[in-house]
Amino acid sequence: MTTSKQEIEVKLYTPNLKSIIAALEANGASLKSERVFERNVRYEDHEFSLTPQGIVVRLRQDVRTLLTFKGPGIVENGIISREEFEVVVDDYDMMDLILGRLGYYPFMAYEKYRTTYELDGAEIVLDELPYGNFTEIEGDVATIEVMIQKLNLSDAERMPNSYAGLFDIVRQNMELTMAHLTFDAFEGINVPAEAFIKQGETKPPVVDDSDD
């Protein structure tokens, strides 16, 4: 199965996911997918030209394997809009081999647990990553803004960077050396909120790439 769409979403830094679950349930949200573990691998070419262009090529494994391409994004008020193509593939190893033959190599892996809800035309995902918890809301811009109000998230910081981009910022700020964003690598490490702010800035930086 292949899907193509214009992805419109906002990423919010939300350490306390329990309060968001309570708000979702109080508003009658439906559980679309129970908590599942994901392993994501980002690919680059040998010139490392994709990330600077805001392009994402990714293989994701959860209950299935998904190949994703994302084009450059436009950010307005913390909401990211970009073209996205996805296809379910049967064989992860074969897809990895094909990408290699096309000149792409895996340069970064990241892990997370994801729980997915639906409410009033929006998809809301609760993400648990090795460095913190986040909520992503996907829909049209008006729906996203309404959902932020409904879930009492008006004060939550909007994070226009990708999880990979935030990983780079955290590593720089905390002087970490791990190559991949995994739970094993972050075991015993507490990441404070200020670690997501790029040095020299007072708020999270403008997006350079994005992947959810």
Structural domain includes residue 211: no
Q: How many CA atoms lie within 13 A of 105 on its CB side?
A: 6
Structural domain includes residue 205: no
Structural domain includes residue 6: yes
Residue 121 has which token pair? Answer: 């035309």
What is the pLDDT averaged over residues 83-93? 96
Number of domains in the chain: 1
Question: Is pLDDT at 130 greater than 90 in this prediction?
Answer: yes
Structural domain includes residue 212: no
pLDDT band at 207 (very low <50, low <70, confident <90, very high): very low
In the chain, the percentage of residues whose pLDDT exceeds 90 is 90
Structural domain includes residue 203: no
CATH classification at residue 24: 2.40.320.10
The position carrying tokens 């981009």 is 165
Q: How many CA atoms lie within 13 A of 16 on its CB side?
A: 9
**Pairing verdict, β 79-89 and 74-76:** antiparallel
Question: Is pLDDT at 2 greater than 70 in this prediction?
Answer: no
Structural domain includes residue 204: no
Domain containing 11: what range?
A: 2-196
Structural domain includes residue 115: yes
What is the pLDDT averaged over residues 13-28? 98
pLDDT band at 118 (very low <50, low <70, confident <90, very high): very high
Question: Measured between alpha carbons, how far is 62 from 68 in angstroms, rounded to an integer?
Answer: 14
Question: Is pLDDT at 148 greater than 50 in this prediction?
Answer: yes
What is the pLDDT averaged over residues 135-149? 98
Which pLDDT does position 199 carry in this prediction? 79
Question: Is pLDDT at 151 greater than 90 in this prediction?
Answer: yes
Q: Where are the beta strands (DSSP E) in the chain?
A: 2-13, 30-45, 56-61, 65-70, 74-76, 79-89, 104-119, 122-129, 132-138, 157-158
Structural domain includes residue 208: no
Which pLDDT does position 211 carry in this prediction? 60
- DSSP H or E run through 167: helix 163-174
Q: 122, 144 in Cβ contact below 8 A?
A: yes
Range of lowest pLDDT (29-33, 158-162, 185-189): 158-162
What is the pLDDT averaged over residues 99-122? 98
